[in-house]
Structure 1
């Protein structure tokens, strides 16, 4: 897969994730956040299970099956997924869809920082101002200018750390194992089982509540988890983690749009400025490296001609 196709796939993923914020919010009206998280990730695991099975058979035929330690890597990714999804889901109970969507973008500046500290990866220079622009955009939308950060906002903000680590590591693990569908299915299964067990033990629930939340659960399970998270594993094999983080942050733009149309959320002028900053950073991180490559190519051709 080319870099351009991987980036376009990441934009599609962001669109799906942005629309899922509305379903996540409505699902919370009937069941607890951990139960919701557990059921939707198990549905996502079922969606990708046939692809993982076919992939496993192909790898075995090529004598390239999983080796010792691969299972622990998948569990590690599943743990990061569980922490990020659970804290985000709890936060959505106490904040708006728009705020949750934008505050989730706080993981964007963390990805290049963690990438450099943990993996010594130095991204293109445009990632740093782009990540800062995303951070400022999220700050403007959160209302922090008036010190108006609620409990739900804090939960979503804290979820940025496991999200950042997941974005940083998922592509590396899937690429080394050459098994993106197996990685996706395994992490969904671990996340879903642990979250479901937690919800059944510590949250109030009823069959009527599960039925009332069935459509949000199905939508987020099939689209957000089964399709979008799996596509993320595939796309990030071919995209730099820092670039992917900024592109995926466009989910906040889509979340604001869906929140506006479906739930009546409204953005302040500061929030609109935050939208613009995140969108501009997403475009810059894609276009500036391309312009640099074109400039180098033109210089090389000029030297050859002379």
Structure 2
């Protein structure tokens, strides 16, 4: 691939990751409304089951085409993400949503640390500055008081698992395997969430009983679930983990944007300042001079 082709592919991957992050952000006000009627783990189980079923219908042979090694890696990545979802959900029962959002966003810091340790990736000073700026922006955007307890602790574990998922995708995903890996990850996430719903529920999995709720759930399953996982898996085959994490830190910015645009919330100074800080961090990373692709994305040999 020529340098121009590599730059074009890298830009497309960054845009795909940004679009995926925007789709995640668009679901916050929908989830807030839906969870008044459906338990969280039940919602997650149904969401990822619908996403996995749709992906299998579209590409029924994609998983079979994966090598046994790639399947094992996809199983590990799906398990990391699924357990993180459960821990983040459990943490929400013991900590304010704003604090949960900030702690979860600490994967922006954990990702370059894990990448440096596991992949031996060298992180330059300007990238670290962008990481710290994004983290500070998340704090301004989301925090309104902070305390440390059980909920915060398990949410931090979830953030570390999300970081491990990002690093793992950066190391293991390839463009040719992206579809099969995405499907297998979604199915593993669905299985973990379904097991949690069956264990914690007293009457099985609770399903939405309103047409509007099903419309919201299908959107979150197909767009912010199936398509988002495919976009992330493909994009991270072309982007280094730290760059991916900083782009993904735009999620609460998009969440605030859609809450104002569609949810009727008012713009606040904290929204504006925090969002601008995160956006600046992303633009700094995107403007950094790029080394050769092999220096940016290191794949594990095992």
TM-score tier, shorter chain, comes to 0.7 to 0.9
Q: Secondary structure at the match of 1:210?
A: coil
Contact 2:256 2:271 in 1 (8 A): no
Contact 1:32 1:204 in 2 (8 A): no
Deviates more, 1:209-218 or 1:220-229: 209-218
User: Counterpart of 1:218?
Assistant: 218
Structure 1 residues 273-288: aligned runs within 5 Å: 273-288=273-288
CA distance in 1, matches of 2:255, 2:153: 18
User: Counterpart of 2:32?
Assistant: 25
Deviates more, 1:261-270 or 1:181-190: 261-270
CA distance in 2, matches of 1:78, 1:196: 14
Contact 1:101 1:256 in 2 (8 A): no
User: Counterpart of 2:191?
Assistant: 193
More helix by percentage: 1
> Cα distance 1:150–1:275, how it changes in 2: closer, same or farther (>3 A)?
farther
User: Counterpart of 1:8?
Assistant: 15
- Which structure has the larger Rg over C-alpha atoms? 1
> Cα distance 1:204–1:191, how it changes in 2: closer, same or farther (>3 A)?
same
Contact 1:33 1:86 in 2 (8 A): no
Contact 1:22 1:259 in 2 (8 A): yes
* RMSD of aligned Cα (Å): 3.0
Structure 1 residues 1-306: aligned runs within 5 Å: 2-55=9-62, 59=65, 65-67=66-68, 69-91=69-91, 95-96=96-97, 103-143=103-143, 146-147=145-146, 156-175=155-174, 178-204=176-202, 210-212=208-210, 213-266=213-266, 268-289=268-289
Contact 2:104 2:155 in 1 (8 A): yes
> Cα distance 1:85–1:169, how it changes in 2: closer, same or farther (>3 A)?
same
Structure 2: which 5+ residue stretches go unaligned?
1-7, 293-302
User: Counterpart of 2:3?
Assistant: none
Q: CA deviation at 1:209?
A: 5.0
Q: CA deviation at 1:21?
A: 1.8
> Cα distance 1:147–1:238, how it changes in 2: closer, same or farther (>3 A)?
closer
Deviates more, 1:220-229 or 1:267-276: 267-276
TM-score normalised by the chain length of structure 2: 0.81
Contact 2:42 2:207 in 1 (8 A): no
Q: Deviations over 1:114-163 (max 9, x none)?
A: 1001111113443211111111122233435x436798776655421111
Contact 1:87 1:159 in 2 (8 A): yes
Structure 1: which 5+ residue stretches go unaligned?
60-64, 294-306
Q: Deviations over 1:215-248 (max 9, x none)?
A: 3321211111111111110111111111011111
CA distance in 2, matches of 1:241, 1:11: 14
> Cα distance 1:215–1:284, how it changes in 2: closer, same or farther (>3 A)?
same
CA distance in 1, matches of 2:186, 2:35: 20
CA distance in 1, matches of 2:120, 2:206: 51
Contact 2:99 2:146 in 1 (8 A): no
Q: Secondary structure at the match of 1:45?
A: helix
Q: How many residues align?
A: 282
Contact 1:19 1:254 in 2 (8 A): yes
